[in-house]
């Protein structure tokens, strides 16, 4: 019986390693290609490990006009959107879960129902609104469109519904205000979900392509996905350059996930809590 358990564990580990290798292989190929010269990419047999490592592709892509500016634009949008989205969603979730007021459940259901509206239906009205406010070709338009997120409110409300009201009652007896309760009690207890949503919000804004494509026309205001897409046409045969740009775009997401990973798994599980 013990021998069978060992065999089963070995097989499971083997399958897990095999899947991990398959998943990591494209990523390894990207790194390898970005470190090759243009001629080495066409060599046969394929060089998985470059014979001569060069950083020319990184130097070239960083020297492309507006590339560094696009990184700053994307970082500004992703950071600002994440911070404001988390603040607005946590405050709304606190109100929907812990503050009793008339019509609370109806209002929450109506708000969540907006998640079922296809994005394509509201895209043209949003563009018209931004145009009438003279916010097209402006980074502020992208911020306004991503400040509020119904999914984030739903996730945080589910987490906060699981927080005992005894904490709030005790703080209220001690004279704590609603703001104090929100900052000192609710936020620390919901940090796992907040960290998960922060990663998702940052990643969503960082990788957003469609909204910037429609809203922005000035190249100096382009975000990183737009610049990378323009490179795919101008440098379509220089795969080392394209891979270098793609890897640069992945670095902030990887770093953020490394710092948030211990909260990420726990935060994803709150959707099953009964609200």
Predicted pLDDT at 199: 86
Output the six-digit token pair for 174.
């001690």
φ, ψ of residue 19 in degrees (nearest 5): -65, -40
Predicted pLDDT at 119: 75
Output the six-digit token pair for 166.
């005894």
**For position 226, which CATH number holds?**
1.10.3720.10
- Grouping H, G, I as helix, E, B as strand and the rest as coil, residue 89 is helix
Can you give the residue range of the structural domain that contains 190?
Answer: 65-272
Q: Is 60 among the domain residues? A: no
Q: Are residues 128 and 43 in the same domain?
A: no
Please tell me the total count of domains within the chain: 2
Q: Is 164 among the domain residues? A: yes
Q: Residue 224 burial (CB < 10 Å; 0-12/13-18/19+)?
A: buried
**What is the value of pTM for the model shown?**
0.79
Which is nearest to 159 in space by CA: 182, 191, 184, 185?
191
Residue 13 CB neighbours (<10 A): 10
Predicted pLDDT at 265: 61
Distance CA 206, CA 78 (A): 5
Q: Are residues 196 and 257 in the same domain?
A: yes
Q: Are residues 37 and 138 in the same domain?
A: no
How far CA 117 is from CA of 111, 120, 127, 202, 231, in Å, comes to 11, 9, 16, 23, 33
Q: Are residues 18 and 132 in the same domain?
A: no
Q: Are residues 88 and 203 in the same domain?
A: yes
Predicted pLDDT at 72: 92
pLDDT in tens, the chain (275 residues): 677 778 888 888 889 999 988 888 888 888 888 887 765 555 666 666 777 777 888 888 888 888 899 999 999 999 999 999 999 999 999 989 888 888 888 988 888 888 888 777 787 888 888 888 888 888 888 888 777 888 888 888 888 888 888 888 888 888 888 888 888 888 888 888 888 888 888 888 898 888 888 888 888 888 989 888 887 776 666 778 888 888 888 888 888 877 777 766 655 555 444 44
Q: Are residues 50 and 70 in the same domain?
A: no
Query: Is the preceding omega at residue 45 within 30 degrees of 0, hence cis?
Result: yes
Give the count of alpha carbons within 13 A of 13, CB side only. Answer: 6
Predicted pLDDT at 274: 43
């Amino acid at each position: 019986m013990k021998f069978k358990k060992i065999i089963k564990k070995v097989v499971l580990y083997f399958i897990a390693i095999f899947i991990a290798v398959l998943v990591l292989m494209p990523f390894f190929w990207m790194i390898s290609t970005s470190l090759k010269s243009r001629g080495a990419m066409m060599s046969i047999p394929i060089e998985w490990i470059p014979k001569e490592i060069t950083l020319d592709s990184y130097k070239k892509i960083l020297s492309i006009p507006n590339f560094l500016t696009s990184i700053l634009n994307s970082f500004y949008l992703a950071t600002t959107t994440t911070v404001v989205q988390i603040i607005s969603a946590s405050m709304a979730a606190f109100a929907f879960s812990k503050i009793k007021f008339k019509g609370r459940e109806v209002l929450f259901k109506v708000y969540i129902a907006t998640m079922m509206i296809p994005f394509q239906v509201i895209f043209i009205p949003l563009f018209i609104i931004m145009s009438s406010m003279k916010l097209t070709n402006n980074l502020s338009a992208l911020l306004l469109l991503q400040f509020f997120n119904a999914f984030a409110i739903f996730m945080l409300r589910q987490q906060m519904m699981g927080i005992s009201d005894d904490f709030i009652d005790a703080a209220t007896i001690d004279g704590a205000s609603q703001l104090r309760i929100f900052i000192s009690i609710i936020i620390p207890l919901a940090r796992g979900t907040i960290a998960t949503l922060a990663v998702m919000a940052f990643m969503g804004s960082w990788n957003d392509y469609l909204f910037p494509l429609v809203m922005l026309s000035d190249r100096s205001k382009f975000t990183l996905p737009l610049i990378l897409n323009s490179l795919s046409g101008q440098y379509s045969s220089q795969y080392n350059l394209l891979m270098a740009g793609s890897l640069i775009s992945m670095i902030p997401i990887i770093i953020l996930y490394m710092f948030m990973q211990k909260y990420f798994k726990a935060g994803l599980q709150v959707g099953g809590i009964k609200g």
